[in-house]
Amino acid sequence: MLLNRRRLAALALVALAGAAWVYVMPGLLNYLYYYQALGGLRVDVSGMTMSNSSSSWTFSFEFLVTNPSPYAGLGVVSVAYQARLPDDPLAGALGVGSASPGVIIGQYSELRVPATFQVTGPALSSLQEVCKQNTSISWSIEGSLGLDTRDGIFSHQFQIPIIAPC
């Protein structure tokens, strides 16, 4: 049975609409997970180690930035941080640093960003006094994570406690 032109045009229009729907659907679903990704984003610190010399102590660690959602499209632009001794609020920041990874975190993935800071001068003397009395140091790593999102740059604040050996 032959299809007349109207039925053929209607079928072509239905097929085109279906193809467009299939084409748009993955992007639409990704868009729906955007706020879940922003709300669920986690920043942790892993593996702080220390190396020392007579004039400075250098601390190295990694930031673990985790996207626990199916959203793809959060870009990590920067990580700015400072390390404080939470037991000594008058000491101020003993170490500061930043990193600029410039990468996108994939779905359900984790990004590792290496970081270091150095303690010298009077702050080093304070830290050496703390280590004479203890075998480890309790740090508070505070900072912000710069995210490149569909709405522009977003700043995610964090404060992470970590214990490192002296």
pLDDT in tens, 119-162: 888 888 888 888 888 888 888 999 999 999 988 999 999 999 99
The whole domain housing 103 covers: 34-165
In a domain, 11, yes or no: no
In a domain, 1, yes or no: no
Question: What's the chain look like in SS3?
Answer: CCCCHHHHHHHHHHHHHHHHHHHHHHHHHHHHCHHHHHHHCEEEEEEEEEEECCCEEEEEEEEEEEECCCCCCEEEEEEEEEEECCCCCCCCEEEEEEECCCEEECCCEEEEEEEEEEEEHHHHHHHHHHHHHCCEEEEEEEEEEEEEECCEEEEEEEEEEEEEEC
In a domain, 154, yes or no: yes
Per-residue pLDDT band for 94 (boundaries 50, 70, 90) equals confident
pTM beyond 0.85: the answer is no
* pLDDT tens sequence across 5-60: 888 788 888 888 888 787 777 766 778 899 999 999 999 998 899 898 888 999 99
CATH classification of the domain holding 102: 2.60.40.10
Count of domains for the chain? 1
